[in-house]
Amino acid sequence: MLNLVANNSTVTEHETVPVRIKSGPSGPKPRRTLSRRNIVVYGTLIVVALYYLLPLYVMIMTSLKGMPEIRVGNIFAPPVEITFEPWVKAWAQACTGLNCDGLSRGFWNSVRITVPSVIISIAIASVNGYALANWRFKGADLFFTVLIVGAFIPYQVMIYPIVIVLREMGVYGTLTGLIIVHTIFGMPILTLLFRNYFAGLPEELFKAARVDGAGFWTIYLKIMLPMSLPIFVVAMILQVTGIWNDFLFGVVFTRPEYYPMTVQLNNIVNSVQGVKEYNVNMAATLLTGLVPLTIYFISGRLFVRGIAAGAVKG
């Protein structure tokens, strides 16, 4: 096996070497792109990429067709006649229960849930992670361990006690209640993210600031914060997509008039009444996915870099 591989490589080298010598250093670069290995690599990746793109393509195509065309055609065919009516209907007229004002209501609810939740959860978790990384106190590791282990407790176990707590506070069913819940459940992953990031910063920096007499908040605001903008962006991306995409908490902790977009979407598409309008459903689905997708495509590289940074150090 070993010999075989070695032989193969020498053979191919022998074949290419004379060509290279003849053409000389001024000739075109030797083309290596068509080696068998590259065909396999690129071929596989292209097939995989097509598989990943397929659902998005089908969603877009379906949402631009009229119902008659959907009934006779196949889902992969591009629309013969492009219509934006399903989009308009999904946004402004689709029905959930008695309300027929479309997904727009859910959209604005989601905005009102996501923005404060993201800001509050990140503010709390970053200070917390900083305290854990640089200002360890007795028992801090214990609480942190409980927090991280707690991240594995299924939400279902804690939902009802939280309902009771929120009810006692008088915010059960409101947006405030839901924001608190998002802050609580975002805490483990965010704290971990920030703690790891801050712990990875050069310690000399922190020590130097201490020597210069800076305190807890000064170091956080003047040194840690400016140095860690990437991780804040990462945390923001994580939270915006996470909270926007949440379904369970929305269903449990809010009243129907405050339902976030995902819940409303599910109610529209999976409603048993009426004729199924697949084009409207797909338009509504796309609309709901649009916010996280936009964030993802804009921040693509940071998204990836963040995931990598957060994960490998952990």
Partner 1 sequence: MTGQTRGSARPNQWLRNLNAKIASIPMILTAVVIFVGGTAWTVLYSFTNSKLLPRLSFVGLDQYERLWAAPRWLVSIENLAIYGFFSLIFSLVIGFVLAALMDQKIRFENTFRTIMLYPFALSFIVTGLVWQWLLNPQYGIQSIVRSFGWTNFNFDPLYNSDIVIYGILIAALWQGTGLVMCLMLAGLRGIDEDIWKAARVDGIPMWKTYVLIIIPMMRGVFITTLVIIASGIVKVYDLVVAQTSGGPGIASEVPAKYVYDYMFQAQNLGQGFAASTMMLVTVAIIIVPWAYLEFGGGRKRA
Residues in region 148-207 near partner 1 by CB under 8 A? 149-162, 164-165, 183-184, 187, 191, 207
Interacting residue with partner 1 among 19, 23, 30, 42 (CB under 8 A):
42
Residues in region 258-297 near partner 1 by CB under 8 A? 262, 265-266, 269-270, 278, 281-282, 285, 288-289, 292-293, 295-297
Site string (126-145) toward partner 1, x via CB under 8 A: -xx-xxx--xxxx-x--xxx
Return the DSSP state at 220. Answer: I
The answer to the question of residue 84 lying near partner 1 (CB under 8 A) is no
Q: Which residues pair with 99 in a beta bridge?
A: 96
Q: Of the ranges 23-31, 97-105, 221-229, 300-308, which one interacts with partner 1 (CB under 8 A)?
A: 300-308
Q: Which amino acid is at 190?
A: L
The answer to the question of residue 74 lying near partner 1 (CB under 8 A) is yes
Cα(77)–Cα(4) distance, integer angstroms: 47
**Of 147, 159, 232, 129, the residue nearest 188 (C-alpha):** 147
Interacting residue with partner 1 among 67, 119, 124, 227 (CB under 8 A):
124
Interacting residue with partner 1 among 11, 19, 39, 41 (CB under 8 A):
41
- Does the CA dihedral 285-287-291-295 come out positive or negative? positive
Interacting residue with partner 1 among 64, 70, 178, 179 (CB under 8 A):
70
- Give the 3-state secondary structure of residue 96: strand
- Give the 3-state secondary structure of residue 182: helix
Q: Least Å distance between CB 285 and partner 1?
A: 5
Site string (196-215) toward partner 1, x via CB under 8 A: -----------x--xx-x-x
Q: Which residues pair with 67 in a beta bridge?
A: none
Interacting residue with partner 1 among 246, 254, 277, 283 (CB under 8 A):
246
Q: How many other C-beta atoms are found inside a 10 Å radius of the C-beta of residue 274?
A: 7
| Tokens found for residue 64 | 């631009």
- Give the 3-state secondary structure of residue 84: coil
